[in-house]
Amino acid sequence: MSDKGSPARDEPRVTLVQVAKLAGVSPTTVSHVLSGKRWVAEATQETVRNVIRELGYRPNNVARSLRTRRSRMVAVVVPDITNTFYAVLTRGLADAVDGAGYGTYVCNTDGNPEREDAFLADVLDRGVDGVVMAAGPAGNQVRTGPPAPGVPTVCVGGSPEDAPRVDRVTPDDTVGSHAAVTHLIARGARRIAMIEGPLPSGSAREDGYRQALAEHGIPLEPDLLARGDWTRPGGRSAMHRLMAAERRPDAVFCANDLTAIGAIDAVHELRLTVPGDVAIVGFDDVDAATIVNPPLTTVRNPAYDIGRTAGELLLSRMDGRYDGTGRTVVLPCPLVVRESA
Amino acid sequence: MSDKGSPARDEPRVTLVQVAKLAGVSPTTVSHVLSGKRWVAEATQETVRNVIRELGYRPNNVARSLRTRRSRMVAVVVPDITNTFYAVLTRGLADAVDGAGYGTYVCNTDGNPEREDAFLADVLDRGVDGVVMAAGPAGNQVRTGPPAPGVPTVCVGGSPEDAPRVDRVTPDDTVGSHAAVTHLIARGARRIAMIEGPLPSGSAREDGYRQALAEHGIPLEPDLLARGDWTRPGGRSAMHRLMAAERRPDAVFCANDLTAIGAIDAVHELRLTVPGDVAIVGFDDVDAATIVNPPLTTVRNPAYDIGRTAGELLLSRMDGRYDGTGRTVVLPCPLVVRESA
């Protein structure tokens, strides 16, 4: 045990010249191996890397950051990386920026606006080069401009009017939801309920639901709108409430797949069948949608493409190819028909 | 469009003193707001943060990093963040180090040793303060010491002899697998197959399987060992191969849950039942284990605790509380009995 910190931190600093000497190459070659910008024979690269590890050489990237004021990192702010949707989005982002030499820094906010603020302050403090705000409704905090002026920012979802210099990538929730509910109507459903998220009404997914009903002259019945919380237990309770009503729904559109899986649980608990007694549609197309019984008809939320597109928008600002007003990219959400509806 | 980079990068640098002046506080107060280390009234904090955003002030953290040679970042190297196990592990790590002011940087290797090497060189280059190698078998590359001498490193899995100054966190795969197979034997199964991962035999999970059979005097039949690839389609094909044999297994232990879900698919395709005709046990306890029909009996792999423990081991080295030889923490993997066995 030691209270003085790791001795490695106090060792005299190994220089690039020492690395070059021991590897039997020129300092320029070492520098090329480090930057990866010029061709160096593979065997030479390996020798240099081995010497770097042996000597514990740490290139002065931090000094380079100071000079260029760049950390070569992008931050992605998500509610929770353990939610598959955000993990896949993060992977798309990482794949987009990795080739340009940017690392991806993940911030979990749990939907807590204070944590989000703390992360944004932190992002500012670290000199991060770009930010993707995918923290859901809380991400709407980015109202008046980028969280750190001069730091390129992409929001996932939200409305483009909010922040003129912020780019946006948004799945086409309304069109996707409209397709889901139109599919239920085409299958003969007439009492179509919706289990939403925990927020006040007015989401894009509810818009699609309302539009499809209106187009087919089906009046919206307020008691067919139930509130969930994006979770399986939340979907299960909401479905039990809907099924306890005097006139049961014959179909349910759920605002996400976990909610739909909980709704299926409730139908099975009542010894009824899906889709025989009630047809059920989800939203997201997570892996579990093909594992649940019956396999879930759902709307695909293009998480990977959202992340990848966000990364491409960031790159165009980070490398100076674009410096104009905020752009909005809308990605399609196709209906995937399986067995639950 | 512009090819000269974002103008914000070329603006004269805003100073902390300017922020203090406009916020009507002392520079020390601004510094306390930024560091979070001293108490500052909430209203004052808000004023200061607003001014920081307004002026686009970027604190000179990069200069601080140069002085202390620390980036306040830890890197986690995973095969793929979209695999729930690694997303949950990453979340545990982030939760452990976040309080101490460390950000979490995610590297996806897709199990490719070259990508892993590139990331390690990158980690070195960025002055990352700590590394968690959770890239599975490829993580065994850390054989002779930390990838960057002086940079605290924790490996997930692997054997402690390999690298004396590297800490390790490992789930108790052997004991967990042993419990799973003992459970199958207790239920009356005698022809117990195992669907493994794609690697050559000799995994800790296979050890547990072999030990449980040996303890009950059941000879190991080599044709009951099938190879999967950790995926659902891989589990499905392996199961079809096992079921095509003259003497079918009456139970199957699968090396992970996705494999087990694929095996259940195959049994259903043969119009047989789980567990009536074949009992099936998985490993990991992912969310899908409770969604599949029948719900999967499985062994819980404590992903979150693995990440959290790795973070705690890193912290003890990063802040100098520990500087000794490599420690190994073994975390239990309890059997979770549901309906598939």
Assess if residue A260 is contained within a domain: yes
Here the CATH number for the domain that contains residue B156 is: 3.40.50.2300
pLDDT of residue A266: 98
Residues on chain B touching A104 (C-beta within 8 angstroms): 105-106
Give the C-alpha separation, A133 to A337, whole Å.
31
- Same domain? For A161 and A189 the reply is no
Assess if residue A340 is contained within a domain: no
Assess if residue A2 is contained within a domain: no
Contact check, Cβ <8 Å, A320/B5: yes
- Same domain? For B230 and B120 the reply is no
Contact check, Cβ <8 Å, B149/A8: yes
Q: Is the pLDDT of residue B66 over 50?
A: no
Contact status, residue B139 vs residue B109, Cβ threshold 8 Å: no
Q: Is the pLDDT of residue A87 over 90?
A: yes
Q: Which residues 4-23 of chain A have a CB within 8 Å of chain B?
A: 4-9, 11
- Same domain? For A228 and A311 the reply is no
Residue owning tokens 């990158």 = B122
Assess if residue A271 is contained within a domain: yes
Q: Is the pLDDT of residue A162 over 60?
A: no
Contact check, Cβ <8 Å, A124/B9: no
Give the C-alpha separation, B254 to B197, whole Å.
9
In tens, the pLDDT along B99-141 reads 888 999 999 888 777 777 777 777 777 778 999 988 764 344 4
Smallest CA–CA distance from A98 into chain B, residue:
B107
Question: Could you tell me if the ipTM is greater than 0.85?
Answer: no
Give the C-alpha separation, B127 to B104, whole Å.
13
Q: Is the pLDDT of residue B239 over 70?
A: yes
End-to-end CA distance of chain B: 62
Assess if residue B65 is contained within a domain: no
A71 interfaces chain B, CB cutoff of 8 Å: yes
- Same domain? For A102 and A158 the reply is yes
Contact check, Cβ <8 Å, B81/A87: yes
Looking at residues B302-309, what average pLDDT do you find? Answer: 95
> Which of A6, A62, A107 faces B317 most closely, judged by CB atoms?
A6
Assess if residue A341 is contained within a domain: no
% of chain B at pLDDT higher than 70 = 84
* Nearest one of A276, A278, A275, A277 to A295, comparing CA atoms: A275
At B224, is the pLDDT very low, low, confident or very high (cuts 50, 70, 90)?
Answer: very high
> Which of A56, A75, A291 faces B292 most closely, judged by CB atoms?
A291
Give the C-alpha separation, B126 to A94, whole Å.
17
Contact check, Cβ <8 Å, B149/A56: yes
Smallest CA–CA distance from B106 into chain A, residue:
A104
- Same domain? For A178 and A294 the reply is yes
At A3, is the pLDDT very low, low, confident or very high (cuts 50, 70, 90)?
Answer: very low
pLDDT of residue A59: 60
Amino acid at B286: V
Contact check, Cβ <8 Å, B319/A5: yes
Q: Which residues 288-317 of chain B have a CB within 8 Å of chain A?
A: 288, 291-293, 317
- Same domain? For B102 and B251 the reply is no
- Cβ burial, residue B164 (10 Å; 0-12/13-18/19+): exposed
In tens, the pLDDT along A63-85 reads 444 445 567 889 999 988 988 88
Q: Which two tokens stand for residue A307?
A: 């992340």
CA A127 to each of CA A147, B31, B59, B63: distance values in angstroms, whole numbers, following the listed order = 12, 16, 8, 11
% of chain A at pLDDT higher than 70 = 84
Amino acid at B284: D
In tens, the pLDDT along B320-339 reads 889 888 898 999 999 999 99
At A36, is the pLDDT very low, low, confident or very high (cuts 50, 70, 90)?
Answer: low
How many CA atoms lie within 13 Å of B255's alpha carbon, on the beta-carbon side?
A: 23
Q: Which two tokens stand for residue B64?
A: 């601080």
* Nearest one of A33, A9, A30, A7 to A18, comparing CA atoms: A30
Smallest CA–CA distance from B73 into chain A, residue:
A105
- Cβ burial, residue A182 (10 Å; 0-12/13-18/19+): middle
Contact check, Cβ <8 Å, A61/B3: no
Looking at residues A26-32, what average pLDDT do you find? Answer: 77
Here the CATH number for the domain that contains residue A23 is: 1.10.260.40
Give the C-alpha separation, A232 to A261, whole Å.
6
Peptide bond into B219 cis (omega under 30): no
Interface residue of B124, B232, B339 to substitute, partner A, most A CBs within 10 Å: B124
Q: Interhelix angle for B42-55 vs B16-23, to 10°?
A: 130
Number of domains chain A contains? 3
In tens, the pLDDT along A193-241 reads 999 988 765 688 999 999 999 999 999 999 999 999 888 999 999 999 9
% of chain A at pLDDT higher than 90 = 50
In tens, the pLDDT along B136-188 reads 643 444 444 455 667 898 988 865 455 667 899 999 999 999 999 999 999 99
Give the C-alpha separation, A267 to A277, whole Å.
8
Assess if residue A22 is contained within a domain: yes
At A141, is the pLDDT very low, low, confident or very high (cuts 50, 70, 90)?
Answer: very low
At A159, is the pLDDT very low, low, confident or very high (cuts 50, 70, 90)?
Answer: low
Q: Is the pLDDT of residue B220 over 70?
A: yes
Give the C-alpha separation, B158 to B140, whole Å.
6
B99 interfaces chain A, CB cutoff of 8 Å: no
| DSSP symbol at A59 | -
Q: Interhelix angle for B61-68 vs A61-68, to 10°?
A: 160
- Minimal CA separation from A286 to chain B, in Å: 10
Amino acid at B214: A
* Nearest one of B318, B152, B90, B92 to A106, comparing CA atoms: B90
Planar angle of CA B278, B209, B140, nearest 5 degrees:
125
Q: What are phi and psi of A173, to 5 degrees?
A: -55, -40
Interface residue of B46, B85, B125 to substitute, partner A, most A CBs within 10 Å: B125
Residues forming a β-bridge with B107: B77
A80 interfaces chain B, CB cutoff of 8 Å: yes
Contact status, residue A162 vs residue A140, Cβ threshold 8 Å: yes
Least confident among B57-61, B79-83, B272-276: B57-61
* Nearest one of B331, B322, B319 to B168, comparing CA atoms: B331
- Same domain? For A277 and A181 the reply is yes
Contact check, Cβ <8 Å, B66/A66: yes
> Which of B1, B124, B150 faces A9 most closely, judged by CB atoms?
B150
* Nearest one of A170, A138, A168 to A153, comparing CA atoms: A168
> Which of A106, A291, A323 faces B291 most closely, judged by CB atoms?
A291
Q: Which two tokens stand for residue A341?
A: 């509806």
Assess if residue A339 is contained within a domain: no
- Same domain? For A230 and A310 the reply is no
CA A53 to each of CA A57, A59, B324: distance values in angstroms, whole numbers, following the listed order = 7, 11, 20
Contact check, Cβ <8 Å, B1/A322: yes
- Same domain? For B41 and B117 the reply is no
DSSP string, B135-170: -GGGGGG--SS-SSTTS-EEEESS-TTS-TT-EEEE
Give the C-alpha separation, A289 to A295, whole Å.
6
CB pairs under 8 A between A and B: 190
- Same domain? For A219 and A276 the reply is yes
Whole-number mean pLDDT of chain A?
84
pTM of the model: 0.74
Smallest CA–CA distance from A95 into chain B, residue:
B108
> Which of A87, A124, A318 faces B82 most closely, judged by CB atoms?
A87
Contact check, Cβ <8 Å, A52/B293: no
- Same domain? For A167 and A177 the reply is no
> Which of A6, A11, A148 faces B53 most closely, judged by CB atoms?
A148
* Nearest one of A238, A277, A270 to A256, comparing CA atoms: A238
Q: What are phi and psi of B60, to 5 degrees?
A: -85, 55
Q: B43 lies in which domain range?
A: 7-59
Amino acid at B168: R
Give the C-alpha separation, B164 to B36, whole Å.
36
In tens, the pLDDT along B314-325 reads 999 998 889 888
At B201, is the pLDDT very low, low, confident or very high (cuts 50, 70, 90)?
Answer: low
- Same domain? For B182 and B291 the reply is yes
